[in-house]
Amino acid sequence: MTADSLIWAAKRGDLVALETAIRSGANVNSEDSQGWTALFHAAHHGNTKALQLLIDAGADVNRGRESGFTALFSAVGGGHLEAVRLLLDAGAEIAPVQGVELRGYCIQGNSERHKAILTMLDGHQEERK
């Protein structure tokens, strides 16, 4: 199994293929042609089971493109509350993306889920102070 298989499985939410790729030694921090990791793709789809598998296998929750596109950004943008919670609990840093605070993405989302995420981000930043 290759890193491509791992990323493909994360995109599809195929937990069996994801477990197989991890057990076969695929690099859990490898990136696709866009520079996104399997963790980023799992977060984009709000797939918390895939996120947990990847985190347990050692995926770097703060890995992302130089512009700041991390798994946390992906989960916030998609309004995936439980994915955001899981990533924050795993140590994801709340960092700006291209100079825009994640709070801004929540405000732009303007949904109940984004409002809940905004509250969670604010609370998490207070805890880390």
Rg (alpha carbons) of the chain, rounded to whole number? 14
- Give the whole-angstrom CA distance, residue 117 versus residue 102: 10
Q: CB-hemisphere CA count at 13 Å for 96?
A: 4
Residue 16's domain is classified under what CATH number?
Answer: 1.25.40.20
The set of residues, in sequence order, having a beta carbon less than 8 Å from that of 7 and lying 6+ positions away, is 30, 32, 36, 37, 38, 41
Between the alpha carbon of residue 33 and those of residues 4, 29, 61, 121, the distances in Å are 10, 13, 19, 30
Distance between start and end Cα atoms, the chain: 41
Query: What's the structural domain count of the chain?
Result: 1
- Of 24-38, 80-94, 105-119, least confident by mean pLDDT is 105-119
Q: pTM score, two decimals?
A: 0.87
List pLDDT tens digits, range 61-98.
998 766 678 899 899 888 899 999 999 999 998 876 76
Helices 71-78, 102-109: axis angle to 10 degrees equals 20
Task: Supply the range of the domain harboring residue 87.
Answer: 3-128
Letter string b/e over residues 3-35, b meaning 16 or more CB atoms within 10 A of that residue's CB: bebbbbbbbeebeebbeebbeeebbbbebbeee
Residue with the larger pLDDT of the pair 108 and 29: 29
Q: Tokens for 67? A: 């512009």
pLDDT at 46 over 90: yes
